[in-house]
């Protein structure tokens, strides 16, 4: 899948983590660096992941799982957390690398975006 957002684009964010569902694009603090990141939610912690031939399959796309990335889905999924992935899957550092993200790390979901004109 091609990236939905590009660097420099302006986004409108609806604050609050309770309004984020699989399929939404959301803003949150990275559990690794504490930087703000924008990724797509593809799983919540109460859903069993569907993995087929090394691919995580969701209604919003397919994401390849390499090496230790499998472990992020095999380990106990923290309650009330979300699995976030980048649309540019082969270059994205996301939940496949650091696991589920707790809801308290989220700012909110992206409602709208526009180019940097």
- Residue 24 in any domain: the answer is yes
- Residue 60 in any domain: the answer is yes
pLDDT number for residue 2: 53
Whole-Å CA distances, 47 to 6, 42, 70, 109? 29, 10, 16, 20
Q: Which residues of the chain have pLDDT under 70?
A: 1-4, 74-76, 113-117
Query: How is the chain classified by DSSP, letter by letter?
Result: ---SS-TT-EEEEEE-GGG--TT-EEEEE-TTT--EEEEEEEEETTS--EEETTEEEETTEEEE--TTHHHHHHSPPPTTEEEEE-SSTTT--SHHHH--EEGGGEEEEEEEEE---
pLDDT number for residue 54: 85
pLDDT number for residue 4: 67
- Residue 2 in any domain: the answer is no
CATH number of the domain encompassing residue 16? 2.10.109.10
Number of structural domains found in the chain: 1
pLDDT number for residue 102: 93
Range of the domain at 35: 10-114
pLDDT 10s digits, 4-35: 677 777 888 999 878 899 999 999 999 999 89
pLDDT number for residue 94: 92
- Residue 1 in any domain: the answer is no
pLDDT number for residue 30: 94
């Amino acid at each position: 899948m091609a990236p939905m957002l590009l660097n420099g684009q302006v986004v409108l964010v609806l604050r609050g983590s309770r309004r984020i569902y699989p399929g939404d694009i959301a803003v949150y603090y990275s559990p690794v660096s504490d930087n703000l990141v924008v990724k797509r939610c593809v799983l919540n912690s109460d859903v069993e992941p569907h993995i087929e031939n090394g691919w995580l399959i969701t209604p919003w796309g397919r994401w390849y799982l390499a090496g230790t990335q499998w472990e992020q889905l095999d380990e106990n999924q923290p309650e009330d957390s979300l699995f976030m992935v980048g649309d540019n899957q082969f270059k994205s550092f996301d939940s496949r690398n650091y696991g589920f993200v707790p809801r308290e790390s989220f700012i909110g979901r992206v409602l709208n975006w526009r180019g940097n004109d």
